[in-house]
Amino acid sequence: MPEFPSRPDFAAAPLGSGRGVILYDSPTSPCGRRVRMCLLEKGVPFEIRWLDLGAMEQKQDWYLRLNPSGIVPTLVHEGRAIHESNVINEYLDAVFPAPRLMPADAHEQAQARMWMAYELDWAKPFRDAIYETHMKKRAQASGMTPDALAERIGRNTRAEYHLRHALKVLMEPPDEALIAERRAILFDRLALMEARLADGRTWLVGGRFGLADIALAPRLDMFPRIGVEDLPQRFPRIGAFLDRVRARPSWTGSAFGFPPANNPSLVRPAA
């Protein structure tokens, strides 16, 4: 499990105070990374509060008041909470307009939102695949006992279905048929993006890096975690697109798993 070095006492003041930007996030979350990238592209100072998803910290009552879906990321700005990574990023683009990451043109805006919807469409099969592969592997190698897991999760939520799900991940073997099916669905979806990139575009919309690129890249980068190591060979244009995104400072600065102390560029004190 990743380390969560400096977890504050959230219960005391979950909304924070003042006018700063607070991001509730988890180091390995591609959805959280979208928001980290957007904040870094804009140079907006922010503070991160990490949640341990394995311990179901995202299901605690105080957090459900910020985000009723009990998932990360959630952004708190001026004491008000917003969730859904792409929605958060559009909000940030409106409130901190420079540099603009959403196109000004209405048709290009629609295209950007269609790219976001496209990714959301395959987020569910991706989630199924990652639980069967990376999550089971990590949980089953952790040495955690079912009782210890129940105790850990019980501190954060009383909802039995969360524990049942976590116990399945800890104890059941990977469902290979399901993994194969989900990968087939994902490859069909990615073929659509590969075809769209055939016109030689650098960025997904309007010739400029923006929120559509931020919506896609963090999830595409995670394919090795579902056992797909050869994404760039299967989909060379997607591979080249990912390389272009990876060359941006906001990519490096938002990298997974860096505790704040080791990555000052990622977390700066909120104003």
Please, which of residues 75-104 interact with ligand GSH by CB under 6 A? 84-85
95: left (phi over 0), alpha (psi -120 to 50) or beta: alpha
How near is the Cβ of 198 to ligand GSH at its closest, in Å? 27
Which among 72, 103, 100 is positioned nearest to 88, based on CA atoms? 72
CB of 70 within 8 A of CB of 63? yes
66 contacts ligand GSH (rule: CB under 6 A): no
Piece in contact with ligand GSH (CB under 6 A), picked from 26-34, 143-151, 183-191, 233-241: 26-34
71 contacts ligand GSH (rule: CB under 6 A): yes
3-state secondary structure of 104: coil
Please identify the residue of the shown chain whose CB is closest to the bound ligand GSH: 71
Q: Is the dihedral of CA 248, 210, 50, 136 positive or negative?
A: negative
Q: In the sheet where 21-25 sits, what is the strand order?
A: 47-50, 21-25, 74-77, 80-83
Which among 35, 127, 130 is positioned nearest to 89, based on CA atoms? 35
Binding mask 121-160 for ligand GSH (x = CB under 6 A): ----------------------------------------
Residue 267 CB coordination number (10 Å): 22
How near is the Cβ of 88 to ligand GSH at its closest, in Å? 7
How near is the Cβ of 271 to ligand GSH at its closest, in Å? 24
30 contacts ligand GSH (rule: CB under 6 A): yes
Q: Which residues contact 219 (CB under 8 A, 6 or more apart)?
A: 30, 119, 123, 126
CB of 49 within 8 A of CB of 40? no
Q: Binder to ligand GSH among 21, 22, 23, 31 (CB under 6 A)?
A: 31
State which residue, 87 or 240, has the beta carbon closest to ligand GSH: 87
State which residue, 71 or 163, has the beta carbon closest to ligand GSH: 71
How near is the Cβ of 75 to ligand GSH at its closest, in Å? 10
State which residue, 50 or 241, has the beta carbon closest to ligand GSH: 50
Residues that bind ligand GSH (CB under 6 A): 29-31, 53, 58, 70-73, 84-85
